[in-house]
């Protein structure tokens, strides 16, 4: 039997199933602090960690982002499609043609 592919929607569903009640009880502020802690750990891994450590920290950051999206009632697939579904949000081109100093 083939494995189901991981999508943002599946990630949110798995995180909700695993931790939903705890996440809701912790709330947005507490969840945001955990996300920031994981971003810090990712930063450290990018500067001096192994490939395996970087991989683990990327997974943690993505999981905590899905967690806070769940708590905030945001569907990540819908949000990404709305913002990036028709190209760069700044110049609307694919690939982006914004100047390097611009934040699209």
CA distances from 73 to 22, 30, 64, 66 (A): 15, 16, 14, 10
Q: What is the mean pLDDT of each run of 10 residues along the chain (104 residues)?
A: 86 97 96 97 97 98 98 97 94 92 78
Domains in the chain: ranges and CATH = 8-73 (1.10.287.1080)
How confident is the model at residue 97, as a pLDDT?
A: 93
How confident is the model at residue 2, as a pLDDT?
A: 64
How far apart (Å, rounded) are the C-alpha atoms in residues 51 and 34? 22
How far apart (Å, rounded) are the C-alpha atoms in residues 42 and 79? 23
How confident is the model at residue 16, as a pLDDT?
A: 97
How confident is the model at residue 104, as a pLDDT?
A: 65
How confident is the model at residue 55, as a pLDDT?
A: 98
How confident is the model at residue 62, as a pLDDT?
A: 97
How far apart (Å, rounded) are the C-alpha atoms in residues 67 and 69? 5
């Amino acid at each position: 039997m083939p494995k189901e592919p991981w999508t943002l929607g599946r990630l949110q569903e798995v995180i909700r199933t695993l931790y939903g009640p705890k996440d809701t009880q912790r709330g947005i502020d507490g969840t945001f602090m955990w996300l920031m802690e994981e971003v810090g750990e990712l930063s450290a891994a990018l500067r001096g960690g192994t490939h395996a450590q970087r991989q683990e920290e990327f997974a943690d950051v993505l999981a905590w982002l899905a967690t806070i999206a769940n708590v905030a009632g945001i569907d990540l697939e819908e949000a990404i499609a709305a913002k990036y579904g028709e190209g760069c949000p700044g110049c609307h081109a694919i690939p982006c043609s914004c100047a390097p100093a611009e934040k699209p």
